[in-house]
Structure 1
Amino acid sequence: MAHAVTEAKPESPTSGAPKMSQRQVLEALSGLLLGMFVSILAGTVVSTSLPKIISDLKGDQTAYTWVVVATLLATTVTTPIWGKLADLFNRKLLIQLALAIFVVGSALAGFSQDTSMLIGFRVLQGVGAGGLTALSQVIMADIISPRERGKYMGIFGAIMAIGTVGGPLIGGLLTDSIGWRWNFYVGVPFAILAILLLQATLHLPKGARRKVSIDYLGAALIAAGVSVLLIWVSLAGQKGQFDWVSATSFWMVAAAAAALIAAVLVELKVKEPIIPLRLFKNRTFTFSVIASISVGVAMFGTSVFLGQYMQLARGATPTQSGLLTLPMIAGLLVSSVVIGQIISRTGKWKSYMVVGSILLIVGLALMGTIGYDTNFVVLSIYMFVLGSGVGMVMQNLVLIVQNVVSPSEMGAASASVTFFRSLGGTAGVSVLGSVLGTQVANHIADKSHELAEAITKLGPAGATIGKALQSGTIPNVSSLPESVRVIVESSYGQSVAFVFLVAVPLAVITLIAVCLLPNKKLGTKTTIERQYEEDAAASATGHAHSTGLIAAAAAELIDDADALIAGEPLEAAEAQARAGDGGEPQDGRVASIRSIEHR
């Protein structure tokens, strides 16, 4: 007797995934874009004004470096924490909170009376920046697939252009006309508008939420280890501090190493690590992290000291400095927008990132040849090449990681790549800042005879200038007499060029890592759609397993019924049931057999 069991067909894996129209995506992005604009504006508006700010607050090169490092360090440490929080709480509320923290820190920085206060408020600013950095990546992955993301790069490029290009110009104008403190206040009205716009426009589709725990111990150990290491790098060998080879250096390095080793051990054991070390089993993630570290050094480290070069080696005002750095920004924007569109249309990315890595190496090497009197046309070409390389590599490293990791690890993976990029930038600014300070001191020492002659000719005014230069504070170059200014400018020009050369080997590491990345084509599903697909697939597997069990039980019952109808005694059927099950017969099955016999 033939019997057929019909299996229910599960729904299509993505049938339940919510779809957003292009208009809905654009509406959702509007508040996010304004929030990013505020972040970019607040970060770039002070870039051309920092030499003036540090000079007014009587800070030295170490203070200059740490005003930048403080924000980057706080961003680095908090980015993965924000990524974890994104898996637990409302993402819209989180990004609004991050924006509020960011702007409060920025506004308070405007009231700073010395470099210590400024550094402290920049830490608060960095906490908010960590949230904006991590959450913007996660939210974008929620609503835009990797393949389609290039379509929106033009909009992002325009916003970045306004913030990146307008920031230094606005900062320079404010510093030259009203005062540098307004650099920190200018973003407040934009931030309030961004928070309101996010509330009105950002309606994220509901995705799966899993209960997570925050690894506060791991975060604290990472923060402690990285902070101590960076403090050691920035202070060792500096005038009035301690030597590279000294008892202080030994204890600081030992403490940093102990904290970082403990952090690794904690990350291996906790249920929800800040940086899931299992992600390093994925080749794409591992090589993206390596590339991110080195590109972070190149991007943050060199851009920070480019403003110093313009003002201290070329005698430019803050406003002029903003205008003179436009070629690098233009290269970054053009390459990121154009390549983003091409990647979106083709789904292929690797060849463009290899080219970008090569341009990064070439741009840094060319910038390593500059001096205080380099022709501006030549300098503009060098900066454009460097910016093009950064634009083609930086953001795509996050994109390709999001393309391969599980939706449940999207927040942690995106934040981790950004974490290591920020870590590279933080370490780069600290190390390169220390290198710059040492180089400037050495070059001025080499020209001490010329400097002494120039100062002597100035009389009493020269003695005051000499004391200021010996103190290590960053000078206001434009106010120096011509004879002294040329010496200072040439020293800073040579020193900044050396900083760019130091970054070249790191760019080579970026190229190697990019070449080793698996060349996987970009997907066409958003994170939410992929999550629905995974959940539906798991449900379908469970459904098939249950259906199979029911079908097997039904077949056994029918076979027993057939045997009973053929005249076999009930005891034989029960014995067969015991033999098949390895024990007592199932009550339901025997009851069914008895029912059939009775009938």
Structure 2
Amino acid sequence: MTHRQVVQAMYGLMLALFVTILSTTIVTNALPRILADLDGSQSQYAWVVTAMLLTSTATTPIWGKLSDLFSKKLLYQLALTIFMTGSVLGGFAQSMPELIGYRAVQGIGMGGLQALIQVVIAAMVAPRERGRYSGFIGAAFATATVSGPLIGGFIVDAPGLGWRWCFWITVPVAVIALIVLGRTLKLPVVRRPVKIDWLGATFLVGGVSLILVWVSMAGSQFAWLSAQSAAYLGGGVLILALALFVETRVSDPIVPLRMFRNRTISLVTVAIVAVGTAMFGGSVFLAQYFQVARGFSPTHAGLLTLPLVLGMFVSSTLSGQIISRTTGRVKPFLVFGASSLVVALMLLSTIDSRTNLVLVGCYLALMGTGLGCMMQNLVLAVQNTTANSEVGSVTSVVTFFRTLGGSAGVSVLGAVLAAHVASYVAAGLAGVPGAPSAGGSMEVESLPGPVQQVVRDAYGQAFGDIFFIAGCVALVTLACVVLIKEQPLRTTVEWTSENARTETESLSSASRA
């Protein structure tokens, strides 16, 4: 494909990515109203988000494997269609169980869109040139992240609309994406014998689902150390062990285990778990920090996270351009990004309810810079060392672990946050005569002035604690990217031994010159 053809196809891909991310952020401000209209409980509140995240995470490796066997374009269109179906149905939901089920359908489509976008780009553009287009992904992510809460708040409050339009508004954009992709995306379809490992896929989805359910419910529905935890975790590990056994026996597994013999793939898989924790945790807990600890409205909270998004957009675009046009090397940007992320999270661990907002914005910009340098480049490093016949499986595995790290990290950090807030509130209220019990459910805005400040201070201090934990996790990412062996990006889409030999010789000659 020529540069013009690639850019035209990228418009369709980015529209689909925009819709996917928007659907996860636009519903945030509408959830309280949805809960009131559908008579939902607090546990169902969490499951509106968790159901979508669970199905998208569990199905990501399956979508990736299917892309190695069938038409990537057709699968992308199918994932987008499933996503639209879930969106339309979600808008018609008459009860919370219905809505949760439709969000799960959305998640199946979202898992395909997240996994396949990198696979489709890999089929269009050589690794050395791929950085030229990374700005598209950064722009779509930044726009959807910032505009989602703002659009959601406007729709909920606008006369004649209501929360159901938070689901329906994404459908026209998805339809446009389908039309653009149908006209512009031209990919060759490699015909080869198809044998899908359905048994391995079933065990994989079942095991991952049980573990994700455990992570999302432990600490709130039951204790981390309890019989329920043992049942969920033990069952998940057992089913995944069966999946591992099956994957070592079948000829064409869903997750080719031999990929982990590749040092780069193994290191990136570990590194991207922490990236997912920082990326998802940052967006979830920062919004809560600005609203609860600082007292800002949801709309203002979304605007205050803008430095994080802009940092991601600028760094991902610049790093991609520099890699494509000059060095052709990824590792320096990975090391810089991981170092920036560690420093930013450690700086964020010092914040409280009174920290200067300009200073917080600088910390967030540094965090976004680190994430932007790593997110796309980690995937690029993996794809550069992978044969075309397995690029879908490998890419989806990396995406899978990023999402898994995000969902697990958010749940664990959320449990830590709740425990530390309760402890800090109890200590703070000990000196306030006639204060309410720390164990009760407290609406911060309705509390007396002195008590309200105690609660805000407790949240501010607790947020610093969880960012410190996230910073310690990010140290693992830094260690992994330092150990990655540098391999210059190839200039061809197809990966063959002849390509590798030619590029090695040309790079050696350039180095001598």
Q: Give TM-score, length-normalised by structure 2.
A: 0.89
Mapping for residues 213-292 of structure 1, pairs under 5 Å: 213-238=195-220, 241-292=221-272
- 1:349 pairs, out of 318, 330, 333, with 330
Mapping for residues 342-491 of structure 1, pairs under 5 Å: 342-345=322-325, 346-449=327-430, 453-454=434-435, 472=441, 477-478=444-445, 482-491=449-458
Paired residue secondary structure (1:270): coil
Q: 1:105 to 1:452 in 2, by over 3 A?
A: farther
Paired residue secondary structure (1:360): helix
Cα offset, 1:487, TM superposition: 3.4
Larger radius of gyration: 1
Structure 1: state its 5+ residue gaps.
1-19, 456-465, 538-599
- 1:321 pairs, out of 301, 306, 313, with 301
Q: 1:446 to 1:59 in 2, by over 3 A?
A: farther
Aligned CA RMSD, in angstroms, stands at 2.7
Does residue 496 (structure 1) correspond to residue 478 (structure 2)? The answer is: no
> Partners in 2 of 1:123 and 1:248 — Cα distance?
23
Partner of 2:78: 97
- 2:172 pairs, out of 189, 195, 198, with 189
Does the 8 Å contact 1:30/1:201 carry over to 2?
Answer: no
> Partners in 2 of 1:177 and 1:448 — Cα distance?
40
Does the 8 Å contact 1:87/1:212 carry over to 2?
Answer: no
Q: Give TM-score, length-normalised by structure 1.
A: 0.77
Does the 8 Å contact 2:134/2:376 carry over to 1?
Answer: no
Partner of 1:587: none
Paired residue secondary structure (2:252): coil
- The one-letter amino acid paired with 2:474 is A
The superposition leaves residues 418-458 of structure 1 with CA deviations (integer Å, 9 ceiling, x where unpaired) of 11111111211222222223333333333454677245xxx
Identity in percent: 49
The superposition leaves residues 117-147 of structure 1 with CA deviations (integer Å, 9 ceiling, x where unpaired) of 4433322221111111111111101111111
Does the 8 Å contact 1:105/1:121 carry over to 2?
Answer: yes
- 1:69 pairs, out of 29, 33, 50, with 50
Does residue 526 (structure 1) correspond to residue 493 (structure 2)? The answer is: yes
> Partners in 1 of 2:361 and 2:381 — Cα distance?
31
Cα offset, 1:151, TM superposition: 1.6
> Partners in 1 of 2:34 and 2:301 — Cα distance?
14
Paired residue secondary structure (2:248): helix
> Partners in 1 of 2:92 and 2:451 — Cα distance?
33
> Partners in 1 of 2:267 and 2:399 — Cα distance?
13
Partner of 1:171: 152
Paired residue secondary structure (1:453): coil
Q: 1:32 to 1:235 in 2, by over 3 A?
A: closer
Paired residue secondary structure (2:201): helix
Paired residue secondary structure (1:372): coil
- 1:333 pairs, out of 290, 293, 313, with 313
The superposition leaves residues 383-402 of structure 1 with CA deviations (integer Å, 9 ceiling, x where unpaired) of 11111111111111111111
Q: 1:273 to 1:480 in 2, by over 3 A?
A: farther
Cα offset, 1:154, TM superposition: 3.2
- 1:302 pairs, out of 278, 282, 285, with 282
Mapping for residues 529-548 of structure 1, pairs under 5 Å: 530=495
Cα offset, 1:327, TM superposition: 0.8
The superposition leaves residues 7-51 of structure 1 with CA deviations (integer Å, 9 ceiling, x where unpaired) of xxxxxxxxxxxxx22122222222112111211222232345557
Which segment is superposed worse, 396-405 or 35-44? 35-44
- The one-letter amino acid paired with 1:37 is F
- The one-letter amino acid paired with 1:394 is M
> Partners in 2 of 1:21 and 1:96 — Cα distance?
22
Paired residue secondary structure (1:24): helix
- The one-letter amino acid paired with 2:472 is P
Does residue 144 (structure 1) correspond to residue 111 (structure 2)? The answer is: no
> Partners in 1 of 2:473 and 2:203 — Cα distance?
26
- 1:507 pairs, out of 470, 474, 477, with 474
Cα offset, 1:359, TM superposition: 0.7
Partner of 1:583: none
> Partners in 2 of 1:373 and 1:111 — Cα distance?
43
The superposition leaves residues 371-421 of structure 1 with CA deviations (integer Å, 9 ceiling, x where unpaired) of 222221111111111111111111111111111111111111111111111
> Partners in 2 of 1:50 and 1:490 — Cα distance?
26
> Partners in 2 of 1:105 and 1:471 — Cα distance?
37
Cα offset, 1:64, TM superposition: 5.3
